[in-house]
Amino acid sequence: MSQPAGIVEVITGSMFCGKTEELIRRLRRATIAKQKVQVFKPVIDDRYAYFKVKSHSGMDYEAVPVSSSTELLEKLDPLATVIGVDEAQFFDDGIIDVVNQLADSGLRVIVTGLDTDFRGEPFGCMPLITAKADKVDKLTAICIVCGEPATRTQRLVGGKPARYDEPIVVVGAAEMYEARCRHCHRVPRE
């Protein structure tokens, strides 16, 4: 008997483009199909609920918060056939091997994460996960300034664009981030 084929699906884009909402949609469909689903999220992402992934629009799904890719493997349910990994950009680089290992063992792995940081540069492990994925969906939001499709995440500090030298990882939501198109995205260097 042959081993079932695994797959890595990536859902990426800027903040507010619906990544987590799309993840939850896929997880709910897998649940309807009577597949065993397990979802992981980084401990650092405590914006809405600790034991759930939750979209900005309020959709949610039960999740296991973990502090590392190693802990994800330790908490993996051996009966799970569909694995969700939300906000992958916050995981250590070991998540790249973990995701591929899970898919190689026959699991469907659905990964979400920001493709770029607030500066518009590749974010953490996401470029490598995306490059090795079997399927990639890059979603867009709506630019808060001009209404065009947004592919960038604008961080605000005191209502103004964050400077280039600000810390990369600052967890937040609408109180400090906006979706912007390439034209309206600003990152002052001085």
Q: Is 148 a catalytic residue?
A: no
**Nearest 5°: phi and psi at 31?**
-65, -45
Render 91-156 in DSSP notation, one character per residue: S-THHHHHHHHHHHTT-EEEEEEESB-TTSSB-TTHHHHHHH-SEEEEE-EE-TTT-SEE-EEEEE
DSSP run (H or E) holding 42: strand 37-42
Out of 87, 148, 166, 190, pick the active-site residue. 87
Active centre residues (catalytic): 87
